[in-house]
Amino acid sequence: MGLSQLTPELLAMIASYIMPDDFENLSLTCKQAYDWAKPLIPRHNEYRKRYRNFSFDFSGLTTISDLLAVIADDPIIATYMVHVELDGRDYCEETDMRDADYVKRMTKRLSPLVLGSPHLSILRDDFDEPVELWLEEIVRDLEYYNREIPFAEFGVPFLATLLVNVETLILPAEWCNHCIITSRDSSRHIVTSLLRLLVTRANDKALKDQPLQKLRTILPARNVDLRVGTVMEQLFPFLALDSLKELHHTFGKCAFARGRTAFRTLGRNLEIMKLNHYDICGHSAKVLFKDMHKLRVLEMDYSTRDEVMGKGFQADLFMRSVITGTFASLEKLVFTGRELWPDTDVVECSFREFTRLKYLELSTIFFVNGAGSMSPEDAESFLEKDTIEESSDEENIVDEHVTEYGEESEDQEETSDEEDDKYMNAHNAKGAIPEGTMLPPDDKRKMYKSGKRVWRLVSALPELLETLIIHTPASPRNSACVERMFWRFEQLRAQRLPNLKQIEVHVHKKHPTGERIRGYLRQTRRLENFFADKKILTKFERLLHGIKEEIDQEGPIADNRQEPNDLAIVHHEQTVYHEAPIAELTLAKPNRQEKVLVQKTQEALTESTLPPLVSEMCH
C-alpha cells in the first residue's frame, strides 16, 4: 500500500514521529506530501529553531533534568538536537530536593522517558540496581560529589542515549570523577557501563540511527575553574567513538594512573586534536595516542595545571608516544608551552620518524631547562649560572672550529655528522623510536638540562618538512639552544631538508606569569646577530611591547644584518592570552588557529549554519 492510500490522520501520525531530515524530505517530495505535512511544519520549524543549536544560555532551561522533562513531553525533540552545549547548565537546589511536590511532579514527567529507555533495559540484567534508581538520580540533579551514588551525574549520560543526530558536543567541565573511567573497577560503575554500551552500539556499522553515531566534533567548555582546570579522562567515552573526527579542549590535564581505562581504543578515526593550556603525562600519552593512526593535526600548548602535575613533565616520553601512534599520518605538529618546572624531562628523540609531517612548530622550553620557561621565583636559581655559561657558549658557537666539547677541528665535526647518520639509519625502521639521543652526551641529563647538547635540526627533522617555527624565551640557555639547533644548517639544508621553505624564530620577552625576563634585550640581540649573516630565516619575530624604543635607548643593534629580502625582523606587540575559557578568549592579536577555534565554537551555537526552514524551501 502506497502513502497516497493512507488516511490523512494516519499520515499525520507518521509524519509526527519521523526524523527531522526525513520530515523535510517528505514535505518536499510533492504537493500532496506537502499537504500531508503542512499542519506539522510550524512545529517542525519551531523545534529546529529552538533545539538544533541548543545551549542553556538561550533555551530558557537551566538544568539537565529540565531539558529531559521537555524531551519526555515530546521525545521527537531530542532528534532535532545537532549542536549541543551542556556547559552552561545549573543544578537543582537542595530546597527543591526537600520539596515533596517538586520531586513528585518531576518524577511523574520523567518516568515514561527513563523507565521506558531501551538502553537501561539492556543493562538491567547486569546490575542489581533497578531502573528506578536512574529515575531517582536524574530527578535528583545535583553535583556528582553530592550524590548518594558518587562519582557521576546521571543526567548527562542518560541524555546521550537520546542524541541520535548530534554532530557537535560541548560537555560540562565537570560531570563525573575520572575514577569511573580509569580505576581498576571502573567498568563496574553503572554510568560507565551505560557509556560502554552506547559506544559499542554506535560503532556497530550494522546498526542505524544509534545515539552518538553521528558525533564528529567535541568543543571545549567555557565555564572552567582555572585554578584546577578540567580532565580529559571524562571525554574518553566519546573519544572511543569511531565517528569522532575532531577534539578541541582547553585548560585540562590527562594523568590517569598507569594508563588504565575502561575505553582502551581512543581516537581511532580522530583527525584533528587541538589542546590549549594542557598537560598530558607521559604514561597517559602512551595509551592516548597508540590507536590514533589517522591523526593529521596535533596542536598542544602545554601549561602547568597545578603544583603536583606541573613538576616533572615527561616531554620526551610524551613526544615518543605521539610518534609511535601518528608517525605515518601526522601532517601538522604544534608543540608549544608556557611554563615548565626545573625537573622537566626534556625532549631528546628525533622527529625524523614522521613520514608525512610538513608543518612543525616547537618551543625551546622542551629542549633545555632555562629561566625563560619558569616563573621569576624559580628562574632566579638559573640566572646566575646562565650568565656564567653564556659567554663560553657564544664563543663555542661563533667559532665554527670549536665544538661543544672544546677545541675540535671541522673535520671532526664532519665525522660527527657521519656518526649521526649511521645512528639514525640503524634505528630508522618504519615506526621505530631511537632509544638514545641524536648526539649522546657523556652525562645526558646534565648536558641536556644546561643546554650544552641539543640535537641539530638537520639531523632530527623529517625530510618532507616545509614549515618550521621555533619559539624561544629570551634567556641564555634558550638562546644557546637555538644556536646549536642551527649548527651546520646552511651546509646540510639542501641535502637533508630540500622542501623546507619557511623558517621562523619567535623570541618571547616575558615569563609565563607576565613579568619580563631579566636580560631579554641582550638575548634578543644575541639571536639577531647570530642569524644576521646567515641565509636561513624567512622571519625573525620579536614578541615585545614597545621594544623599538627600548632598543634605541640602549644602543643600536649590530649593523651586520641580512637585507630585508633575506631576513625579515618584525616588531609588534605580544599576543595576549587572557585567562578565560576559549569561547570567550579575547586576543590583542589572535593567531589563525585561535580564530578558527573561537569561530567554530560560535558557529556551533548560532543558527548561521542551518538550512532554510521547510516553509521557505517549499515556496
pLDDT in tens, 161-196: 999 999 999 999 888 888 888 876 667 788 999 999
- 334-345 pLDDT, tens digit per residue, is 999 877 776 678
| Residue 114 or 557, more confident | 114
Q: Is 30 exposed, middle or buried (0-12, 13-18, 19+ CB in 10 A)?
A: exposed
DSSP label at residue 4: G
Report whether 172 contacts 86 (CB < 8 A): yes
Q: Please tell me the distance from the alpha carbon of residue 249 to that of residue 256, in angstroms, as a whole number.
A: 17
Selection from 339-348, 559-568, 603-612 with the highest mean pLDDT: 339-348
Of 490 and 389, the structure prediction assigns the larger pLDDT to: 490
Model confidence band, residue 305 (pLDDT cutoffs 50, 70, 90): low
Res. 119 pLDDT band, cuts 50 70 90: very high
- When pLDDT is cut at 50, 70 and 90, the band that residue 550 belongs to is very low
What tens digit of pLDDT does each residue of 145-168 get?
655 566 788 999 999 999 999 999
Q: How far apart are CA 14 and CA 10, in angstroms?
A: 6
Average pLDDT over residues 255-259: 70
Q: Which long-range contacts (CB under 8 A, 24 or more apart) does 439-446 make?
A: 444/348
Neighbours of 546 (CB within 10 A): 9
Strand-pair partners of 407: 402
Q: pLDDT tens across 73-98, in order?
A: 999 999 999 999 998 888 887 777 77
Check residue 64 and give its pLDDT.
94
* pLDDT in the model for residue 453: 60
CA distance 192 to 200: 12
Say which DSSP state 85 is in: E
Exposed/middle/buried for residue 388 (C-beta within 10 Å: 0-12, 13-18, 19+): exposed
Where does the pLDDT of residue 462 fall: very low under 50, low under 70, confident under 90, or very high at 90 and above? Answer: very high
What band does 330 get if pLDDT is binned at 50, 70 and 90? very high
Percentage of the chain with pLDDT > 90?
41
- Give the pLDDT mean for 311-325: 89
Q: Which residue has the higher pLDDT, 313 or 573?
A: 313
- Do the Cβ atoms of 389 and 476 come closer than 8 Å? yes
Quote the cell numbers at residue 123.
543493562
Q: What average pLDDT is seen over the chain?
A: 76
Predicted local distance difference test score (pLDDT) of residue 210 = 96
